[in-house]
Structure 1
Amino acid sequence: MQTNVEAQTAENGVTTLPELDRCVVMAVVNVTPDSFSDGGLFFETKAAIAHGMGLLRAGADIIDVGGESTRPGAGRVPADEELRRVLPVVSELSAAGASVSIDTTRACVAEAAVDAGARIVNDVSGGLADPLMPRFVAHADVPYILMHWRGPSTQMQRNAHYGDVVTEVAAELQQRLCAVVDAGVRADQIVLDPGLGFAKTAEHNWRLLAHLDVLKQLGRPLLIGASRKSFLGELLAGEGGAKTPTDERDAASAAVAALAAATGVWGVRAHTVPLTLDAVRVAAALRAAA
């Protein structure tokens, strides 16, 4: 059934999220032993909380807490283990005043995290991994980040086949947007994420970044998650073609953040906050001068 999404859309905003005069910086806290970006540096609860507190002090607008790796090839963890990892971190950061998003594809984890203080649900599957997710988001009335997804991490790169990646990602995001609205989620709760690196090659990622204007025509704010991803490591590869290590991709990540922010995207995910804040402030100044 076709849904009139535009009729339910608030003016360039998302329910209950703060309106800033610049792009939102969403900082990442991976409570996993196998994160692609830090190799499990913040797997222990105390380390994750301390890291999150540091990101909050550095000026992060939102802190995105996840307990299950979504890097290519990663397997699933049981729901009770995911809950064990994220709930104390969400609770402590929320109590400290952070706006916390829970990065999960499970409705039960999202519900427990919201009960613990999370204000946003960030679902990389766009509601496809757990059909109960849209129903929970609608009931909880929280902002929902809906990402483009073509399957779980163990098979995502096998699905990286497109005739025209920009057109197809836009169409598939539109389908998911309509589906979750039909399930009861208001359009003004939704932020869209094109899912850079998820079932996409480096070429696909660059094409999407070069045509964010097409994705903006879907009528919802956009979140861009490029920070430290593999396609930046490929771009910066040294002699012999070895990818640049993840912690040496922060300048390139900030450059992408600035370029995306200059197009008017709602937010960017980041592993390092000060560089990214500087980048989006530069973009805001440029937009204001136009």
Structure 2
Amino acid sequence: MDDIEAAASRLDSIRLGGSDQYCVAFPNLKSLYINGNPIMPEMILSANLPSSLETVSVAESLENLSLCTKLKTNSINNLKAILNMDYFDSQETFYRVTNTLFGKSSICNKVSLELRNIPFELDEERLDWSKVTELTLGNPITYPQLTRLLPRLTNLQDLIVSQFSCREIEREMLSLNIETTQVGQTLKSLSNSLQSVWLLNIADNSSYDLAALCVQHLLSQLPALLNIKSFYCQADALEDFAYEYQDYFPHLAYLNIID
């Protein structure tokens, strides 16, 4: 045990997930990785950790993520979470665990979250995710759902949408009437922090033309946006849109449209 403790005192990162059963202390630990299905989760929870960790990375299950709520540390600078839920995971547990780790009272300073599979639609009214600065959505999300979600993520800076859906949208909802100067006043800001958006695929056979209108509408409501990449909207078309509407939405003049 003395040799283990001596080695642990020199480690600056550790990967837990095996079957070793030790009660250990890591006074100089900087990074913690939790992956797979740890056989002895109590070893993780009983480990004596520094008062502050630079990075905690956790992958796969909601059960693994919940371990992070019980770590013996006072502060986590960066939490990186990849969540792939099972259908039997309860929504109640999901919101309780994520709000504890991602919310305003969390010990985490910044959270990077990848939601690979969530077997239910996110209820934005139940979210307290103010510490989330990077978000990747693996499930399909409709434009109306996205416009309801973004205002709840008050510190979000980077967003990746894997499957963007335009169902539940009427084309008339997206019209931008440039014949009146009120156009810049009728659209409310969805986020004052979001700087980068990547839109990867169109979901459920949504119309490309309608998707392009959704993207244009979205750009108009993100005044802090600096970078946009859409794999189904031509960069030239977005540049033309930004030029045409920059008088109404000044931030479009500085937008970097990635080809």
* Same fold flag (TM > 0.5): no
More helix by share: 1
With structure 1 as the length reference, what TM-score do the two structures score? 0.29
Structure having greater relative contact order (Cα 8 Å, sep ≥ 6)? 1
With structure 2 as the length reference, what TM-score do the two structures score? 0.32
More strand by share: 2
Structure possessing the higher radius of gyration over alpha carbons: 2
